[in-house]
Amino acid sequence: MRDYLDNRQIKLSGHTPRRPLLLAVLFCGLALLLLYGDQRGMLAPVRGALEQVLSPAAQQLTAIRDGVTGFWMGVGDVRQLREENEALRQEVTRLQEELIAHEEALAENVNLRQQLAIEGDTPWHLLGAEVTVRLPDAGRRVILIARGTQDGVRPGMAVVGQTETEPTALVGIVEEVSVHTASILLITDFGSQISARVLHDTSSTLGLVQGQWQRGSRLRLADVTRDLPLTVGDTVVSAGLTSELNLPLALAAVPDGIPIGEVESINTDGHTQVAELRPYVDPDQVKYVWVILNQSE
């Protein structure tokens, strides 16, 4: 068997690679034919038909591409908008803080100018304070200020206020003091009693001013002798004698000559006169006050 195989001639195939060459020639010919047909306009109908068939798919692909591109651009825009919004918010906050500080500085400047004007016309040494709280007590007229013993405030000290059209006038007396705050009993409170002096032409007489806020924040002037007839419009000021009247509050620190109000109406009661006063400054309306710490020598 082996000898047979060894002696048998094996024939090699005589096949040559002619098929790829033939395909290349056909494609080149087809390309030339299509080029010739396109130049002659013979392929226009075919091209139009293909465009009609492929146009919807191309449009969908374009829409998908634009959507994906727009999505990522939108994500970037949202991030940028958030960053810009945060920056604007911080800028608004900064401007608001600057505006508040500016307004506070203006208000403080106005209050300091008022204080300097008051101290220039009087022998008083003043301590300015904002009215922080109006205590919600229906039976009493009390305010709270953010000044206390650390600022030199003591019970019995007089507290004054001012309006644009009226003189600086008494609005209350320091009643209780803590380290940082003080409560002020307003002169319109029913329990408030201040020694007073009525000025009439070149004469004067003593009396006692009592609060009666139930009657429109008015004051009552009592214990005025009939030796000096009162007149509507007479000026009433503090007499500086409150500590000698043995009243509940320690009011020895109230100096004399603080304007209180003017006489509105007069009645006689036996051997004395009683008058209703309109305070120069309504204590219920003040937002900023000054405590008279002492009198300059």
Give the separation between CA 200 and CA 116, rounded to whole angstroms. 29
* Backbone φ, ψ for residue 55 (5° rounding): -60, -45
- Mean pLDDT within 247-272: 78
Residue 27 CA to residue 161 CA, distance in Å, equals 108
Among 58-67, 128-137, 217-226, 258-267, whose mean pLDDT is lowest? 58-67
Q: Which pLDDT band holds residue 217 (cuts at 50, 70, 90)?
A: confident
Q: Which CATH architecture has domain 124-295?
A: Beta Barrel (2.40)
**pLDDT for the residue numbered 183:** 94
d(CA 228, CA 200): 8
> Of 29-33, 99-103, 200-204, where does the model show the most confidence?
200-204
**Alpha-carbon distance 231 to 246, whole Å?**
29
What are the start-end ranges of the E strands in the chain?
124-134, 142-145, 158-161, 169-177, 182-186, 193-200, 203-212, 218-225, 235-238, 259-269, 272-279, 288-295
SS3 for 100?
helix
Domain ranges of the chain: 59-121, 124-295
Confidence of residue 295 (pLDDT cuts 50, 70, 90): low
Residue 3, SS3? Answer: helix
pLDDT on residue 12: 47
Cα separation, 166 vs 261, in Å, equals: 10
pLDDT in tens, 15-69: 555 677 777 777 676 667 666 666 666 656 666 666 666 567 667 767 776 666 6
Query: What would the pLDDT profile of 130-150 be if each residue is shown by its tens digit?
Result: 998 887 666 688 999 999 999
Percent of the chain with pLDDT over 70: 64
Residue 171: which pLDDT band, with cuts at 50, 70 and 90? very high
Nearest C-alpha neighbor of 189 from the set 248, 142, 254, 133:
142
